Each structure stands twice: as C-alpha cells, then as structure tokens.
Amino acid sequence: MSTILGKAHLLRCPPGTSLQDGGRALGANYGIPRSGAMDLHSYHWANHLLKNPSQAVALELVQPGLKIKFEAPCRIALAGATVAVTVNQVGISNPSLIALDAGDLLEIGAFHTGARLYLCIEGGFQVEKYLGSGSDFVSITGTATRATGEYLHYLPTQSKAVLQAKPKWSTDWFEPETIQAYPGPDWALLSADQQRILLDQPVHLSKLSNRMGIQLEELVANELDDLPTNPVFPGTVQLTPGGKIIILMRDAGVTGGYPRILQLSEDAQSRLAQKKAGDSIRFQLLPTH
C-alpha cells in the first residue's frame, strides 16, 4: 500500500531553519554528532500533543519569516519560542495546536520570547532516516538547513480535523537565568578562583553561537594544557587555552581535547537553547551523582 504524501511548500524559509528529531544516538562510534532538536523539551511537548511516534521529524526555526503552504489537510503543533502566528493572514491567539486545510498558508512572525521554535506535524515530516534519525547535518543529509522553494512531505489527515484540546504553551520554564550543571571531568583542574568566577556572577551568550556550540562573552584566564582527546557530549562546557568558554550543543563533534569543566543537565540544555545572544545566564553547580 502506498500513501500519497501531502506536500508543504516553503514559500519563504528564513536562514537557520532545519529538520530535527531526537538525534542520531548511534553515530558517535563513527564520529557522527548527535544532532537533533536543540531544545528537546519543547520538541517533545509538541510531538506529544500530536501523539507522534518518537523521532518524528520537525522544523526547528531560529528566525521569523517562515511562510509555508500546506497542500493537504494536516494537524500541526508549535512549541518553544512564543511567536506571532497567522493562518491565511488571520492571527491565531493560541497556536499550540492548529488544524489546517488544503491550501492553508501559515506564517510565523516576530519571536516574542525564546530563540527556537518547533513546528511539528502529525506523523512527522517524511524524510530518509540515517542511523535512526532524519536530523539535518551537512555531511549526512547533504544540507544543514532548508531553503525557500523546497517542499516537505507529510502524511495528510483525511479532512480538516476538529480539535477539542486547547493546550496552552508556557515559557515560564525557560525564562530563569539559572543553568544547572554537574562538575565536568576536569572541573577539579580549575583553581578556586576560576571556579568562583564561573559560579558567582552572571555570564552572557555571545553572538558566536550555533548548533555546534554556544560561546560566552566572558573569558576565564587559564594556563591549562590541552588534554588527551576524550569524549564530549551535548551540554559539555569546554575551556579553551585562550580562556573562552564554549558550551557544546547538538551538532558538536563527539570528542575534544580542551578541559571539560561542566556538564549541563538535560533541562538546562533545553533552557539554554531558548536564550539569545546577550542574554545572561548563571551556572548553578549540582552535586555529582
């Protein structure tokens, strides 16, 4: 049996838009990054609303300006950043869960709070999976981002479905500054002064941030040597010889040679993914388990 896939036309696709799911857990043995949604909390929430299978592929947006036309009926869910949403140029006050008809035009405008929006569709966008994941990563899927003019495919619903549930997305969880982290493998190599600098004051996200990592504006002077190359994970915080603090995110390489000073909790990684350049965060040390 073959299903005729619905098509969604990206009439305008802002820079940095990519397809993401829970990530490529099995790739690390070949040096393949984890990838997947930067804010897994929001990604999972929206997929849950749609009763989607795990690893359903969603769009991750980092900028306003998306214009997407759905050529077959479908249900979508939005979570993450709060944004201005219109369907056929009519504003939607609660855009968590939206039923769309064939030909409907969805537009995403200004980001009010947060940095990343997840647009999930019932059944997930249909793409070829590699090592269990459809997440975009240039050396795997041939592209890091999606482009204007492309079509995305999905499993259409039979007709415009009536939606009973009115879930309300809240961003309260990502607004606090606190970023909880465990001491990293090399935390003990830092002096008491260096540890204090990292914990006692707010630090700020720099503009040098992408899916590989988020760099902070503050420097922490250090004379630590490079270490033997060892595993790193999303949420590992590295301290470079120049004193830069880099928080590794989903597309980071699987190993690194800089001291690994902190390891963010899973919740902290999702919260951090909703912070913008210039936002302040405050590390809070969790006890080692």
Question: What counts of helices (H) and strands (E) characterise the chain?
Answer: 4, 18
CB of 138 to another protein, least distance (A): 8
CB of 69 to another protein, least distance (A): 31
Q: Which of 9, 102, 253, 284 binds another protein (CB under 8 A)?
A: 253
Under rule CB under 8 A, residue 231 binds another protein: yes
> Pairing relation of β-strands 230-231 and 178-183?
unpaired
d(C-alpha 204, C-alpha 198), whole Å: 11
Strand partners of residue 238: 246, 260
Under rule CB under 8 A, residue 139 binds another protein: yes
Those residues with Cβ within 8 angstroms of residue 270's Cβ, 6 or more apart along the chain or in another chain: 38, 39, 40, 41, 42, 174
Which token pair is 67?
Answer: 């214009």
Q: Which of 7, 130, 210, 244 binds another protein (CB under 8 A)?
A: 130
Under rule CB under 8 A, residue 132 binds another protein: no
162 or 242: CB nearest another protein: 242
d(C-alpha 45, C-alpha 53), whole Å: 12
Q: Which of 265, 276, 277, 285 binds another protein (CB under 8 A)?
A: 265
Q: Which of 36, 184, 213, 259 binds another protein (CB under 8 A)?
A: 184
Residue with tokens 């999930």: 120
50 or 140: CB nearest another protein: 140
Contact residues for another protein, defined by CB under 8 A: 25, 27-33, 130, 139-140, 182-185, 226, 228-231, 233, 253-256, 263, 265, 288-289
